[in-house]
Amino acid sequence: MTGPETSRRVALVTGGSGGIGRAVVDRLARDGYDVAVHYAGNEARAQEAVAAVRQQGGRALAVGGDVADEVAMGTLFDTVEQALGGIDVVVNTAGIMVLGPVVGFDLADLDRMHRTNIRGAFVVSQLAAARLRAGGALINFSTSVTRLQFPTYAAYVASKAAVEGLTLILARELRGRDVTVNAVAPGPTATPLFLDGKSEEEVGRLRSAAPLERLGQPDDVAEAVAFLAGPARWVNGQVLFVNGGIG
């Protein structure tokens, strides 16, 4: 679908209402993007992100929906295209993390997490592949723990390893489209998703693991996303590890 003409690039950020997603929204707005801020449950935070984009002179809107629901997300893509004129960049940060050892892991939690992290990534990637304009970029999210093998992360890492496989193959399938497909794999990053349920001792151990001896910040990850979204046209079909040198 088409909408109002615009010379500005347009980005859709899933999970854009908080954490890394919100940092990505702010960073792309500084680069001059109009931004659609997706949320799953917290519209108020999404509207705060929208207001911040508008303060920088950009157009923005909040769009809600379940990333794993292909009908809802198809409608969401329609809405963004109609409101902002098209979509050039999709950043798929939406995801959930449940930790626990394999033995005794609640399979209901496994199903819930994999529905969002695998099916959701697939639905969003499928729509992005069909809708992104030439010169566009799809950026999915993995995790550095696919390489670090921390205990209790098995179920989460299994979902993110699937996202990596999807990303690398889709990049090859879009030959001739002038659309790049990459994944960002953050290391330990100070977000509510990461910090939830961790003791000070655990956080301190992870903080000291990187040679830079700190946790990543959402802005650190957003810088990598901005690189892949804009100038990095020769980076395609890759997983970019953004983790301060850990592992």
Domain boundaries, the chain: 10-242
Residues 6 or more apart whose CB falls under 8 angstroms from that of 165 comprise none
Work out the percent of the chain whose per-residue pLDDT is above 90.
84
Exactly one of 33, 39, 153, 156 is catalytic; name it.
156
Give the SS3 label for residue 118.
Answer: helix
3-state secondary structure 18-80: CHHHHHHHHHHHHCCCEEEEEECCCHHHHHHHHHHHHHCCCCEEEEECCCCCHHHHHHHHHHH
Whether 145 shows a pLDDT value over 50: the answer reads: yes
CA atoms within 13 A on the CB side of 57: 4
In whole angstroms, what is the distance from residue 212 CA to residue 187 CA?
12
Q: What is the pLDDT of residue 5?
A: 45
Residue type, 190: A
CA distances (Å), origin 125, targets 129, 182, 200: 6, 11, 36
What is the CATH architecture of 10-242?
A: 3-Layer(aba) Sandwich (3.40)
| Residue matched to tokens 């997706």 | 38
* pTM of the entire predicted model: 0.93
Residue 228: its pLDDT value, please?
A: 98
Residue 58: the pLDDT is 94
The pLDDT tens digits for 167-207 are 999 999 999 999 999 999 999 898 877 777 778 888 888 88
Query: Are the CB atoms for 37 and 28 separated by under 8 Å?
Result: no
pLDDT of residue 1: 36
- pLDDT of amino acid 195: 77
* φ and ψ of 19, to 5 deg: 60, -135
Higher per-residue confidence, 203 vs 112: 112
Least confident of 35-49, 64-78, 103-117, 189-203: 189-203
Based on the residue annotation, tell me whether 156 is a catalytic residue of this protein. yes
